[in-house]
Structure 1
Amino acid sequence: MPAVLRRPLALWGAFVLVHGVLIGLNLSGIGWPLGDVERVYLGWAEGTVSGAFRLGIDTDFVYPILALAPILAALVFGAPLYVLSWLGLVTLLNGVAFGALIGRRPGRAAARAAWWWLAFLLLLGPIALARIDSITVPLAIVGVLWIVRRPFWGALLLTVATWVKVWPVAAIIALVVASRRRWQVVAVFAGTSVVIIGAALLAGSGLTVLSFVTEQTNRGLQIEAPVASWWLWQSALGIPGTLVYYDQQILTYQVIGPGTDLAVTVMTPLLVLVVLAVLLVGWRAQRAGAAFERLFPPLLLALVLTLISINKVGSPQFMTWLAAPIILGLVGDWRAWRAPAAVALLMAALTQLVYPYFYNYLLGTVPAMVLVLSVRNLLELVLVGWMLTRMWKLGSQPAMPAPIRPGASESQPEPQKE
C-alpha cells in the first residue's frame, strides 16, 4: 500500500467523503431508505417524550430497551431535524470507531482494514446509516478491537451494543469459547445486564423489558431470509399459492405459501442447533491450542453469518454486522482475510442493488431481482462454510503462533496475548 494511503489526512478525508455520499443518498429519497427513521423511530421518540407510552416498560418493544437511547437522542434538535440528527449521530459513532481502528499513526494492516470498511459502507449504500443496526456496528468494532488490551471495556461495549440490537451477543458467545478470560467476559456481560434490567424493573417494566424476545419469535417468514428463497422462486416462476404481503404489526414484508408455517416453526430450533454446531467446531479448535487471535475472528464471523442465514428474519441492514469480524480479521492477518473480505464487498453491492433501488421488483418477485437476492444469500452460506473449514483446520493441526500485529517486528513475532 502506498504510504500516502496510510496518512491520517487521506483516511479521514475518505471517511468524510464516503459519509457525505451516504448522507446524500439517504436524503435523496430514492427508494426511501430512511423510512424506518422517519416513520417509525421518530414516532417512537415523540410518543415516549410526550408520555403516550414507554416502550419496553409498559409497551412491548421489538428491540432491547437501550435502543431507545439513540432513538431519543436524535430528537434533541426537534422533530424537523430528526433525520439529520440521526445521520449525524451514526456518522459521529462511525468516526469514533474509525479513530479507534487507525489511531494516530495507522499501520499497514489497520489502514487496509479502514479502506475496506469505507468501501464496504459505500457498496452497501444508504442502509448503512439508516437503521438501528448502524448504532451497534461502531460499538461492536471498538469492542472487538479493545477486547485484547482492554478486556473490561471491550466486553462492556459489546454488552451495551447487545442491549441496543441483539446480534453483538455473538461476540460475547465467541469470547466465551475462544478466550481464556471467558469468566471475566461473562461477569461483565451479566453484571451490566443486571444493571440494565434492574433499572427497567424499577421503572415498572416487569417482564416487558424482555418483550423483544417474544416480538422476534412471533415473526413470520421475511422475504430476504435465505429460507424464503424457495417460495420467492415459486412466485417468480408463476407457480400459484405463494403471496408476498406486508405485516402491519411487525412492519416487514413476508411471504406465505404451502409449507411456510412449518418453516417458521422449524427455523428457530434449527438456528439454535447450527449455532451449537459452530460453537463445537470453535471449542474443538480452542481445545487443540488454537491461538485466540486466529480463532476468535472466524468464530465470530461464522456466528454472525449463522444469525443472518439460518433465520426466518432477513433485512438488508443485517449486512452491516459483517464489518466488525472482518475488520478484526484484516487487522490481524490481511493475507488470510482479504478473500473473505472481497466476498463481503460483493455481498454489500448486491444488497444495495436490491435495496433500496429495485426493492419493488423484489416485492413483485421479478426473476432478475430474486436471482440477485439468491446469489447474495448463497454467498452468506459460502462464507459460513469457509469459516467453519478454517476453524476445523485450526483444530486439526499443532498450535501456531498468532499472526504478527501491525507495528510488530516482522522478523520476530509478537508474543501471544489475550
Structure 2
Amino acid sequence: MSRTRGRIALLWGGFLAAHAIVAVLGWVLPSQPMGDVVLVYLPWSSSALGGGAVVGLTEAWVYPQLALAPMLIAQLLAVPFMSLLGAEGAYLVGWAALATLCDLLGFAALVGNGRTRRRRTAAWFWTAALLLLGPIALYRIDAVTVPLAVAGGLWLAQRPRVGAAVLTIGAWIKVWPGALVLAALAVGRRAGQVALLAASVTAAIAVILLMLGAGENLLGFLTAQTGRGLQIEAVAATPFLWLAVAGLATIDYSFDILTYQITAPEADAVSALLTPLMVLVVGLIVALGVLRARRGAAWQRLLPPLALALIAALIVTNKVGSPQFQTWLIVPVMLWIVFDRPRARTAVVLVLMLCALTFAVYPLTYDELLAADFWAVLIVTVRNILLVALLVHALRVVLRVPGAAAATETTRRSVAADRPTERPRGR
C-alpha cells in the first residue's frame, strides 16, 4: 500500500508541478501566449457583468454560449488579486487557477485509486503533453473542455448516460467534445441512451438560452466562421506558407477575427472548400465506425482510435489552425491508453511530438513565422504532416480492429497484465 500511495503522490505532484511551470511560462515567453485571456476573454466577461453586450445572446459569437461561463468564473477568482496585480494580471491568475482546478478534477476521475498501470500511464502522458505543449494548453478556453472530455469519455464505459451529458455540456463550451459523442454513437456503446441524453441536454440548454434572449444567435457559433480566410497555421495553408517564403503570398492580420491569414491567389477558394470537406470527412469516418461496429468490433478497441480519427479530421480539414487544437488530441489518446494500452503507443508518440512542435511554433518562433522565415515555416510544415500522419494512423487502426471474439481474448490478456501491481499479503 505504501508503494501505491507513493506512486499516487508522485503522479499528483508531477501534474501540479507541470501546471505551475506552464502557468509561469505564459508570463515570460514571447508572443503573449496568454494574450487571448486578457485581450478577449476579459473584455467579453467584463461587458456581460457591466450590463453591456453579452456575446452569444445579444450578439453573434464564435463560441457556443456556455463558453462565457468559465470566463465569468475567472472574474470571481480574480477578485482577491485585483489590488496587487491590477485587472489584467488578476484575471490571468484567476484564469490559470480555474483551468488548473478543472484539470485536477479531471485528473481525479482519470487516476482514481491509482492502482492500475493503464490509468497511471495515461496520467503521466497528460502531464508530459501539458509540459510539451506549453502555456497554450492552459491559457485558452479549450483548457476547460479537456478535463470535461476526459471525465465524460471515461464515464462512457461505466455510466454512458452521465458521460454523454458531460460531453454534451463540453460541446456547448467548445464544439470538439461532440466528436466523442459521435464516436460513442457509431460504436454502439448504448447508443440509444447516449443519443437521448445528448439530445435532452442540448434541448435544455437551447431552451434556457432562448429564454435569455439568444434568438437568432443561438447557433451563431456554427456560422460565424464560414466567411473567414485561411489561417496561417492550418494544414491547408502549408503550401501557401512556402509561397510566402518565396515572396508570392503574404501574411496579413484580420481585425475582424483577430488572427493572421494567408493572402494569395486561390487561398479564398481553398478556405471555402474546407468546411464542406470537413463535414464530408467526418461523415465518412462515422460511417466507417458504424460499419466496423456492425462487423463485431468491440467498442473498447474501436472507440479510442475512432474518436482520435474524428478529432484529427476536425483539425486537418479546418481553415483555422490554432495551436490549442492540439489539446483535443490528448483526450482520445488517454482513453486509448486506458481502454487498450498496448495498441496506443504510436498515437502516444505522435501526439507528444505534435505538442512539442506546436510549442516550437507558438510561442517560440511565431514572430519568425509571421515574417515567413524558412525555418519557422519548416517547423509548421513538419507539424502539419504529422497531423495528417496521425489521422491516417487512427483510420488504419479503426480498419484493423478485430471482430468481437478475437478482441475479447486480447482485451482479457491486456486487462490481466494490467492488474494492480500490489499483491495482497498473507496474514
TM category (shorter chain) comes to: over 0.9
Letter in 2 for 1:193: T
Q: 1:198/1:402 Cα in 2 relative to 1: closer, same or farther (>3 Å)?
A: farther
8 Å contact from structure 2 (residues 156, 162) kept in 1 = yes
Residue in structure 1 matched with residue 41 of structure 2 by the alignment: 41
Where 1:380 maps in the other structure, the secondary structure is: helix
Query: Which residue, out of 322, 327, 339, partners 1:332?
Result: 339
TM-score (structure 1 length as normaliser): 0.94
Letter in 2 for 1:301: L
Letter in 2 for 1:147: L
8 Å contact from structure 2 (residues 142, 324) kept in 1 = yes
Gaps of 5+ in 1: 413-418
Query: Which residue, out of 233, 238, 243, partners 1:224?
Result: 233
Give deviations 1:300-353, integer Å, cap 9, x for gaps.
000000000011111000000011100000112222101210111011000000
Q: 1:48/1:293 Cα in 2 relative to 1: closer, same or farther (>3 Å)?
A: same
Letter in 2 for 1:33: P
Where 1:61 maps in the other structure, the secondary structure is: coil
Q: Which shifted more, 180-189 or 153-162?
A: 180-189
Residue in structure 2 matched with residue 68 of structure 1 by the alignment: 68
8 Å contact from structure 1 (residues 293, 402) kept in 2 = no
8 Å contact from structure 2 (residues 117, 418) kept in 1 = no
Q: 1:379/1:396 Cα in 2 relative to 1: closer, same or farther (>3 Å)?
A: farther
Residue in structure 1 matched with residue 24 of structure 2 by the alignment: 24
In the TM superposition, residue 280 of structure 1 has moved relative to its aligned partner by 2.3
CA distance in 1, matches of 2:109, 2:209: 31
Query: Which residue, out of 121, 124, 129, partners 1:112?
Result: 121
Where 1:217 maps in the other structure, the secondary structure is: coil
CA distance in 1, matches of 2:398, 2:287: 10
Letter in 1 for 2:376: M
Pairwise CA RMSD of aligned residues? 1.9
8 Å contact from structure 1 (residues 5, 111) kept in 2 = no
Residue in structure 2 matched with residue 96 of structure 1 by the alignment: 105
Residue in structure 1 matched with residue 385 of structure 2 by the alignment: 378
Alignment of 1:264-275 (within 5 A): 264-275=271-282
**Does residue 133 in structure 1 map to residue 142 in structure 2?**
yes
In the TM superposition, residue 49 of structure 1 has moved relative to its aligned partner by 0.4
Q: 1:75/1:403 Cα in 2 relative to 1: closer, same or farther (>3 Å)?
A: farther
Residue in structure 2 matched with residue 263 of structure 1 by the alignment: 270
Q: Percent identity?
A: 41
Q: 1:199/1:411 Cα in 2 relative to 1: closer, same or farther (>3 Å)?
A: closer
CA distance in 1, matches of 2:182, 2:112: 28
Letter in 2 for 1:58: T
In the TM superposition, residue 147 of structure 1 has moved relative to its aligned partner by 0.8
8 Å contact from structure 2 (residues 146, 327) kept in 1 = yes
8 Å contact from structure 1 (residues 286, 395) kept in 2 = no
Where 2:157 maps in the other structure, the secondary structure is: coil
CA distance in 2, matches of 1:21, 1:219: 34
Residue in structure 2 matched with residue 166 of structure 1 by the alignment: 175
Q: 1:254/1:86 Cα in 2 relative to 1: closer, same or farther (>3 Å)?
A: same
Higher helix share: 2
TM-score (structure 2 length as normaliser): 0.92
Q: 1:373/1:290 Cα in 2 relative to 1: closer, same or farther (>3 Å)?
A: same
8 Å contact from structure 1 (residues 110, 406) kept in 2 = no
In the TM superposition, residue 400 of structure 1 has moved relative to its aligned partner by 2.0
Where 1:244 maps in the other structure, the secondary structure is: strand
Letter in 2 for 1:44: W
CA distance in 1, matches of 2:331, 2:6: 20
Q: 1:28/1:311 Cα in 2 relative to 1: closer, same or farther (>3 Å)?
A: same
Residue in structure 1 matched with residue 53 of structure 2 by the alignment: 53
CA distance in 2, matches of 1:390, 1:220: 33
8 Å contact from structure 1 (residues 56, 65) kept in 2 = yes
In the TM superposition, residue 384 of structure 1 has moved relative to its aligned partner by 0.9
In the TM superposition, residue 31 of structure 1 has moved relative to its aligned partner by 2.3
Q: Which shifted more, 379-388 or 294-303?
A: 379-388
